[in-house]
Structure 1
Amino acid sequence: MGKGLFISKAVAVTCVVAAISAVATIIGLAVVYAKEKTKNEVTPPTTPSPTSPTSPTTPSPPKEPWQRYRLPDSLVPVSYEVKLWPWLEPNADGMYIFKGNSTVVFKCVKETDLIIIHSNKLNLTSFEGHQAALGCLNGATVPSLKKSWLEIPTQYLVVQLNSPLIAGSTYTLFTEFVGELADDLGGFYRSEYKEDGVIKVVATTQMQPTDARKAFPCFDEPAMKAVFYITLIHPHGTVALSNAMNYNPVNITLDGHNLIQTRFEPTEIMSTYLLAFVVCDFTFTTNTTNPHADVLIRIWARRKAIEEGQGNYALEKTGPILTFFENYYKSPYPLNKSDQIALPDFSAGAMENWGLITYRETALLYNPGVSSNGDKEWVATVISHELAHMWFGNLVTTRWWNDLWLNEGFATYVSYLGANYAEPTWNMKDLIVLNEIIGVMTVDALASSHPLSSKEEDILKPEDISALFDSITYSKGAAVLRMLSEFITEAVFSKGLQTYLEEFKYKNTVYTDLWRHLQMAVDEAGIKLQHSVETIMNRWILQMGFPVVTINTKTGRITQNHFLLDPDSVVDTPSVYNYEWFVPITWIKTGGVEQQYWLFNKEATNTNMTLGANDWLVANLDMKGFYRVNYDSENWDRLLTKLSSKHQDIPVINRAQIIDDAFNLARAKMVDTTLALRTTKFLNKEVEYMPWETASRNLNYFFLMFDRSEVYGPMQAYLKKQVTPLFNYFKELTVNWTKIPEKHTDQYNQVNAISKACSTGVEGCEELTTGWFREWMNNPAKNNISANLKYTVYCSAIAAGGVDEWDFAWSMYKNATIASEADKLMSALSCTKQPWLLNRYLEYCLDPKKIRKQDATSTIVSIARNSIGQPLAWDFVRAKWDHLFNDYGGASMSFGGLINGVTQRFSSEFEYKQLLQFKEDNAGQLGSAAPSLEQALERTEANMKWVAMNKDQVLQWFQSEASSPV
């Protein structure tokens, strides 16, 4: 508080303080914004993405400091005093705007005559011909300003001085500005929702990774930590929130408006991307008896959502999860409050802003009568993920975005530990295998994948940074940290984190700092590793991909090779490790105990892995290691025999792993495709979720490749035969579908049973789902469909029905007041078999009043999953790319996810050429989609080869198995 007051006095003396400009500035904003947008639409030559295998020659580096994407190291921020006034109603020009001013206190560490500070899409007021006013705090002479300008490509405000700033002196820079409170889901933006027929507006933020500069001029890099003094001016009837606790609001009059001014306590020293502020008319729920009496926990949301109790589950679990992480890190929660707020429009799942975590409604709100167990699990894991960041990411922050994997991969891994503590019966430590690891292995098996950690100089532009927010960063990051925790033990892993956080709190780090602390914990525990933690782990993070370990159980010979889905693909990303890993191999033999062996070379021999005549061996227990396993043909046959005779002898995760490894090895031509298909034969006796879900995902690849060919019929007939016993099992377990299974994973597998049964024509299934749906249509006020089964029932009934079913579901979607229910309906609407309805639905994706911008990507991808909708979605994306890129760019659309989603079925030369043409046509505006486009090209080429090689034998196998007796 004292420091904030001192800044205000200094500003009054040394800076020209002007009133916030009105109409002329607003008009100027529109002009400047239009110019910036036009300039940004024509992208100048840029350094190609490091993940692109076809990158052209890198241009020579820019000569001027303002042409570089990284800030100079001459200035360091100390604090900011920011005042913002968001207008929650449009102005005379129909624009939503915010007005504000900011004073940054910064220290000069190297003499310079340049002030370079980030500013993007802000119209800055002129002070005597300049866009900023300079002052000082320690009596030094204030240099006069020579000129200032906005450098649009690099998003800077550049201030050139007539004489240099003095190293060691502290200065202030005052700016005043107007920005658009747009609906682009980035920076300081606008979210809208309807309540009781009234459209309401929320002003909120999403700063990560590079959008704090859209809210006010700032040194917008993670290492440029500072203290923030925030003031928000807002209408009566609204509340203002920020990272820190607020002082008592006061009434003010400004420009003839009666308003409220809310000031906040200074934040802890932190990065700009963690800053948050919200103005809304929400309310909250809190628990005065929470185990953290010294920490105020509040769940904020729309008033009706709070009144209906949708925030209660989040409130109930936040306290225990905070307790878990305090014990895990051996460090108290660093703040005095934890506000969590559910927003109607939000691009990501959630954002770990320190003290004010923002969420999509589906990630924070839960209604027991309407939401499914999957919705509940999502809320628990997302809350756990964000609370994990309060220490790892916020208290200690990685220096630059090239180490984003460490921040997000870590939070993803430990989110399962926190959720497991909060919900101990769910077995969350196992579900990480399905939710994170199996899926990302498919991505990382592409030659166009990328290492977890990049060089700082390769990640410069905002689009480079945005492209890192992918499954490699989150899921592979989690997988390799889980593997590390397993081989050094969770207790030692936790101990290393504790000393790491203690040394670097309120500072920035690089990944080697964590390796050093984990090594200290390993040494203290007396664990003997043949190589250091850093030596082992660098092979997993500094080179892309992972190995396939091949075990010969006749000789004990073990080999490793870089696993690629297409072994003919060219890997032109060099690796100093030559794609060789240090692999922790765990295994069991028939009736044996777990053993471990380190593979440090391309090949080795371990006679403990040899087998007797009737024995079997399974390696990579519980998929703790990030690698695939192949065996000699005899051991494969023994494993398949064991699955057919007594599958429970093999641990459930490894039953799933055997399926997943076999299918992926077959795609890589390492085993025969029929061997992979044979791993699914035991499923007619399997009732556990993980093997069924893994088989479903892998068979889904066959459906993607063959659902437009003659293979489809026999494939459907085989799956029908396999799923019928599961359908009947759950029919009996639930007493003819009247009860909910007790076990968490059984609830998931009941969904699998009905979904697969209906899609393959199991007798009575479609009648069941369409009957439930018809009952709801006849009485819209009463939906008796079980919450867990809703999406499956909606999709099945809409697929079997016509326009009446679709229009009814659309009406229910538009009127849904619970976000998770709206999500289910939104996805199910893409299940229709009517092309004209799918085309109509695609057009809705460009109207934010019909489909929110945050949901446009997922809706288009859902339509593309439908075999009828896929070509329609691809045509739509190509025809509308300019609009999607320019109007839905930035945070409101995941272009990587979009390209990946609409090209999953591509398996012909014609489709490959279409992709190449798309790449050529849009070379200047691919942005964060560029890596995904390369992956789509590689995947399509691999699919073409696979279909040509496997179609005949796959058809023959399904025909034979479908007609054979059970």
Structure 2
Amino acid sequence: MAKGFYISKNMGLAGLLIGAVAVVIIIALAAVYDKEKTKNQNKPVDGVAMLTTASPTTSSTLSTPKDPWEHYRLPDSLSPVSYNITLWPRLVVNASTGLYIFTGQSAVVFQCKKDTDLIVIHCNKLNLTLLNGHHARLTGLDGATAPTVKTSWLQVKTEYLVIQLNGKLTAGKSYRLSTDFQGELADDLKGFYRSEYTEDGGKKVVATSQMQATFARKAFPCFDEPAMKAVFHITLIHQRGTVALSNGRDVETVNSTIDGTEVTMTRFEPTKRMSTYLLAFIVSDFDHITGSIENNNVRIWARRKAIAEGHGNYALNVTGPMLKFFQRYYNASYPLSKSDQIALPDFNAGAMENWGLITYRETALLYDPAISSVGNKERVLTVVAHELAHMWFGNLVTLRWWNDLWLNEGFASYVEYLGADYAEPTWNIKEQTILNDVHKVFAVDALASSHPLSRKEEEVNQPDEISEMFNTISYSKGAAVLRMLSEFLTEPVFARGLSSYLNEFAFNNTVYSDLWDHLQKVRMSLPHTVHDIMNRWILQMGFPVVTIDTATGHITQKHFLLDPDSVVDRPSPYNYTWLVPIKWMKGGVERDPAWWVLANLNVSGYYRVNYDMDNWERLLNQLTTDHTVIPLINRAQIVDDAFNLARAKVINTTLALRTTRYLSQERDYIPWESALRNLNYYILMFDRGQAYGVLQVGSHYNMIYHSFTVAKDLSSYNQINAISFACRMGVERCRVLTSDWFREWMLNPDHNPIHPNLKTTVYCNAIAAGGVAEWDFAWQMFKNATVATEAAKLRSSLACTKVPWLLNRYLDYSLDPAKIRKQDCTSTINYIAGNVVGMPLAWDFIRARYGGGSFSFSNLINGVTRRFSTEFELKQLKQFKEDNARVGFGSGTLALEQAIERTTANIKWVAENQEHVMKWLANECT
């Protein structure tokens, strides 16, 4: 391996291009490769460059409220040690209130860190029973004398129970605070809530929970911050015949009678020291299947019918291997005595990594090989891997505050591919991270309204601000930069540093820089510290485009913005320069006219690459001549880089379109998916105007359809893409084929002839080509569906109809929980907005009903405005922002700003490129 070295910003490569054996060294970061790195035929060469760096800037101190209970962060005077919690959810409606309720008792033992006469503890939407005239009872422990309660109240805005004492608590002493309370077991998918489903003709109710990020306080009074770890002693009282689950193993189950009601009491082993957001309580009549790993039970729970039909088998089969993989990868044993995973009919997130009791949507855990597609199977695999990765990273060691959520979620989003690849080694699933994370987040991080991975703690305080952190930047950019870090350190070195980090901070909290410290301890010889390298990627937003001129050897980097005219007003401590790791390969020799340079080998770095025009031409020639010489992932990246560089006016649009010419020879999914996603942008911009007719030129897209469906060596994903894209572009053969299949099903509803992998495509296109009869049939099949993945396919496809009144009716259905589950409301509206006919209907629907910020609003505004590309739509967006400024947009505030920015960029792009695109396509298709 070549050693690393520095090159300056303006230093040329000309000297390196001269000689018998010359190489091209691009801007780089990692220097000396560890001996553990495997050699290959096209050796990547690594060098180092440090570009101009600005001095870090300081920000002014934010003003803070006066009284402790007006702050959204807890005072540092108290620290919880343990909780003793008993909860009793009622699975029938309360006769006096007409509500589903739960009752509970909680006793939290805490240590006083600083003398104080004030107790501030989180409590939200709980009715507290008065104890001796107050909301809680305080007891001193180990000889400590507890002051009496002076007054207590609920601070609704900041979600606190505030207790003012007549005397002071003493630093170093321990106390116990006891509360009795009642709460609603609502269907709001937050805290301790209820889920309902129908089985064997009857309605059944599940009491379940979702505590992340700030909802544990809705289940019991608690110090609801991730750094406030404690041990939890949990007891659940539940209806006879049901089963209770929590984070630990059940250690005692006894039948009892309370106030004339026959119940079962289940007590669980004390948890490890853990954060409140990882707690889980569930009462249901679910069944399970069991496996084991090193004497620990592994169980998959779900509705009894789903378990009986084997829908949990695949998840169970891959859980064992993945747990073994992560134990080896982390060099740390699984920290708990059991691993439960449960599929819930109603669950807002995809899954939640509750320690020892992971909760999932049914579509993310259950797989029916007779009905579900290969995509459904892959989703189960990757989501299970993601959640199991958290059992160590996030749960055993937890970030101190939500401003560093990116490290928790970004890490799991990266290593999920490692765990999934171990369980299914023939799938080559690690390549999917380029499509699912890197390309996905590039689109968001190229906006001037993006934000750094890590924010300052004072910028993330309120629940809405915390919710806003659960976004593509945290998950996908976090995964991309950590993958980059692992690549240049090499995976064995990265894993050793990770193991050191986990073992030192087990059962405690950290900040992101603690991981850098441990990676630094086990690093190879690097020209910069891990801190110097990585802080540039996480403390400033965005990413660079690296421009390489192979004729002169000049190399530059620049902050990449999708709209180059946009104004970046967020200050950067590094003046938007990065230390950029580059692996490269070359084709031919320097005197060969076909000689070319390809940077960012296997897209190991988080940046885009631009070349001089001659090198672009040589790369395009290589793709046309023998595309297999260029690595698979880089073929996808060449296409994606070119299209986005063109959108940013770095290269011309014609050059980007030319990257698709070779695709008639391409048989791999990832490059095709990259191309289709970029062409989809053109469709979104043009499908309401005259340019769309050119896009639909039959001969060009018939060629695509034919090349996919005739070839015998294509993956099922490619077949799905081919049929879907051909139908979308109006290929008559496709419309007839999908309509015939769907009609055959309509004639015999008990026998669905459509292959599981093609169901979404066939359903959608048949409904789009049909009318009321097709829609009503699909709606009936949706209502009858007992497998969640089948219901999900039908639900998305119902939005494909071109009949406006059906779409308006479907929008109304989305707000009726009896028709569309609350967890599916947002995605249903977005499906309708994805339909060119449905988009204005969905936009009007949202504006007419908007009443305040919500967790789902960011997803709604992103989905509904994807097509916006006119001055009128921009005006509407700005007016919507102005009209609702008083109400606010909660966690969707940033999403609204990004929608305005994207719309502005779309307007410019259409004006500048529509004619060029039409002309090129017309020439290509004749």
User: C-alpha deviations, 1:572-625, integer Å up to 9, x for none?
Assistant: 110010000000111111148xxxxxxxxxxxxxxxxx7753312211111110
Where do 1:537-686 residues align within 5 Å? Answer: 537-591=534-588, 612-686=592-666
Contact kept, 8 Å, 1:337 with 1:355, in 2: the verdict is yes
Is the Cα contact below 8 Å between 1:552 and 1:631 reproduced in 2?
Answer: yes
Q: Distance in 2 between matches of 1:701 and 1:874?
A: 19
2:234 alignment partner AA: I
Superposed CA deviations along residues 881-927 of structure 1, whole A, max 9, x for unmatched, are 12xx48xx4xxx52111111000111111111111111112122310
Tell me what 1:757 maps to.
Answer: 726
User: Displacement, 1:951?
Assistant: 1.6
- Which residue pairs with 2:124 in the alignment? 120
Give the letter aligned to residue 560 of structure 1. Answer: Q
2:343 aligned partner: 342
Q: Distance in 2 between matches of 1:293 and 1:512?
A: 33
**Shift of the alpha carbon at 1:761?**
3.1
1:89 to 92, 114, 118: 92
Q: Which amino acid aligns with 1:848?
A: P
Go from structure 1 to structure 2 and tell me whether the alpha carbon gap of 1:781 and 1:140 turns closer, same or farther (over 3 Å shift): same
Pair 1:336–1:778, CA change in 2 (3 A): same
Please give the alpha-carbon distance, in whole angstroms, between the structure 1 residues aligned to 2:591 and 2:451: 38
CA distance in 2, matches of 1:139, 1:81: 20
Q: Which amino acid aligns with 2:256?
A: I
Is the Cα–Cα contact under 8 Å of residues 120 and 156 in structure 1 kept in the other structure? yes
**Cα displacement (A) at 1:722:** 4.6
Task: Quote how far apart the aligned CAs of 1:102 are.
Answer: 0.3
Among 857, 860, 867, the residue aligned to 2:829: 860
The Cα of 1:658 is off from its aligned counterpart by 0.8
Separation in structure 1 between the aligned mates of residue 513 and residue 124 of structure 2, nearest angstrom: 33
* 1:944 corresponding residue in structure 2: 907
SS in 2 for 1:841: helix
Mapped partners of 1:820, 1:629: distance in 2: 39
Matching of residues 372-383 of structure 1 within 5 Å: 372-383=373-384
Partner of 1:185: 189
User: 1:761 is matched by which residue type in structure 2?
Assistant: G
Residue of structure 1 equivalent to 2:675: 695
Matched, 1:849 2:818: yes
Q: Aligned equivalents of 1:269 and 1:947: distance in 2?
A: 55
> Which amino acid counterpart does residue 535 of structure 2 have in structure 1?
N
- Contact preservation (8 Å) 1:150, 1:158: yes
Displacement after TM superposition at 1:763 (Å): 4.6
Q: Deviation at 1:962? A: 1.8
Do the aligned partners of 1:687 and 1:726 also contact (CA within 8 Å) in 2? Answer: no
**1:163-312 equivalences in 2 (<5 Å):** 163-287=167-291, 290=292, 292-312=293-313
**C-alpha distance in 2 between matches for 1:733 and 1:671:** 34
The 2-side partners of 1:515 and 1:60 are apart by 31
Q: CA deviation digits over 1:556-576, x for unaligned, max 9?
A: 111000000001101111001
CA contact (8 A) 2:595 2:618 kept: yes
2: CA distance, partners of 1:396 / 1:305: 34
RMSD, aligned CA: 1.5
Q: Please, which of 523, 527, 532 is the counterpart of residue 530 of structure 1?
A: 527
| 2: CA distance, partners of 1:809 / 1:683 | 35
Instruction: State the alpha-carbon separation in 2 of the partners of residues 612 and 492 from structure 1.
Output: 38
1:626 Cα offset (Å): 0.4
Write out per-residue CA displacement over residues 275-320 of structure 1, whole angstroms, 9 at most, x where no aligned residue. 0010000000113xx4x14110000000000000000000000000
Match in the other structure for 1:704: 684
Q: Which of 106, 129, 138 pairs up with 2:110? A: 106
Q: Distance in 1 between matches of 2:592 and 2:183?
A: 74
1:468 counterpart letter in structure 2: M
TM-score (norm: length of structure 1)? 0.88
Contact 1:392/1:411 (CA < 8 Å) preserved in 2? yes
Q: What is aligned with 2:706?
A: 728
Q: Contact 1:84/1:100 (CA < 8 Å) preserved in 2?
A: yes
1:361 maps to 2:362: yes
**Aligned-residue offset at 1:697:** 0.7
How far the C-alpha of 1:268 sits from its partner, in A, is 0.4
Deviation at 1:435, TM superposition (A): 1.2
Equivalence for 2:846: 877
Q: 2:858–2:892: 8 Å Cα contact kept in structure 1?
A: yes
Aligned equivalent of 2:858: 896
Aligned to 1:14: none
User: In the TM superposition, what whole-angstrom CA distance separates every residue of 1:108-134 from its partner, at most 9, and x where no partner exists?
Assistant: 011000000000000111123210000
Gapped regions of structure 2 (runs ≥ 5)? 1-59
Identify the match of residue 906 of structure 1 among 865, 868, 887. Answer: 868
The equivalent residue for 1:74 is 77
Pairwise CA distance, 1:139: 1.5
Equivalent residue number for residue 918 of structure 1: 880
TM superposition shift of 1:726: 4.6
Question: Is residue 957 of structure 1 aligned with residue 926 of structure 2?
Answer: no
Q: Which is worse superposed, 911-920 or 561-570?
A: 911-920
Secondary structure of the structure 1 residue equivalent to 2:205: strand
TM-score (norm 2): 0.92
Contact 1:122/1:179, CA 8 A, preserved across alignment: yes
Higher relative contact order (CA 8 A, sep 6+): 2
Quote the sequence identity (%).
65
C-alpha displacement at 1:725, in angstroms? Answer: 4.2
CA distance in 1, matches of 2:146, 2:252: 36
Distance (whole Å) between structure 2 residues aligned to residue 687 and residue 761 of structure 1: 23
2:808 corresponds to 1:807? no
Shift of 1:94: 1.6
Residue 151 of structure 1 aligns with which residue? 155
Which residue does 2:754 correspond to in 1?
A: 785
**Equivalent residue number for residue 470 of structure 1:** 471
- Cα 1:959–1:80 change in 2 (3 A) is same
In the other structure, the counterpart of 2:425 is 424
> Which region of structure 1 is more displaced relative to structure 2, 942-951 or 330-339?
942-951
Displacement after TM superposition at 1:58 (Å)? 9.6
Q: 1:51 maps to which residue?
A: none
* Partner residue, 1:23: none
In 2, Cα distance between equivalents of 1:197 and 1:462: 40
Partners of 1:683 and 1:722 within 8 A in 2:
no
Question: Does the 8 Å contact 2:588/2:594 carry over to 1?
Answer: no
**Residue 689 of structure 2 aligns to which amino acid in structure 1?**
S
Q: Partners of 2:441 and 2:856 in 1: how far apart?
A: 17
Q: Answer yes or no: is the 8 Å Cα contact 2:197–2:203 preserved in 1.
A: yes
Query: How far apart are residue 948 of structure 1 and its match?
Result: 1.1
Instruction: State the alpha-carbon separation in 2 of the partners of residues 462 and 941 from structure 1.
Output: 30
SS of the residue 2:250 aligns to: coil
Output the amino acid matched with 2:918.
L
CA distance in 1 between partners of 2:182 and 2:724 (Å):
52
Q: In structure 2, what is the Cα distance between the partners aligned to 1:941 and 1:925?
A: 22
**By how many angstroms is 1:729 displaced?**
4.2
Partners of 2:198 and 2:204 within 8 A in 1? yes
Residues 84, 691 of structure 1: alpha-carbon distance in 2 compared, 3 angstrom cutoff: same
Equivalent residues of 1:300, 1:311 under 8 A apart? yes
CA deviation digits over 1:795-816, x for unaligned, max 9? 1111111111111111111111
Amino acid at match of 1:859: T
For 1:583, what is the secondary structure of its paired residue? Answer: coil
